[in-house]
Amino acid sequence: MAVDPGWDQIHIRDLAARCIVGLYDHERREKQDVVVNITLYGDLRQAGRSDRLEDTIDYKAIKQRVIAAVEGSSFFLVERLAEEVARVCLGDAKVRRVRVLVEKPGALRFARTVGVEIVRDAP
């Protein structure tokens, strides 16, 4: 389903979590820091008129589900972690598209961070 590029956006920035992610033994032994940035796309006009939580995307609830999914995960690839975050976000019927950036600080020597960014649409 094509998503209107004019959708409204809600941003969740620099969400910090810890999880098992990586290929190497030392990455699989202890949880590592990841930073997640999420942009949720949807129609927020009704919420703008009504001022009611039930008319908007409940970003606090989505944040809680994302944290639970990330901290409970154990993936080899950051790509797979990003895909899981997108799946969780798209579980909310009001989210029509999601952009997810997952960064793994310190993953590369001489680089502050490395990240994977994906965009997924609701079915």
Known catalytic membership, residue 104 = yes
Q: Which of 65, 66, 56, 60 is nearest to 35 (CA)?
A: 66
Instruction: Return d(Cα 102, Cα 35) in angstroms, integer.
Output: 6
Indicate which residue of 31, 63, 94, 104 is catalytic: 104
Instruction: Return d(Cα 3, Cα 26) in angstroms, integer.
Output: 41
Q: Which residues are catalytic?
A: 104
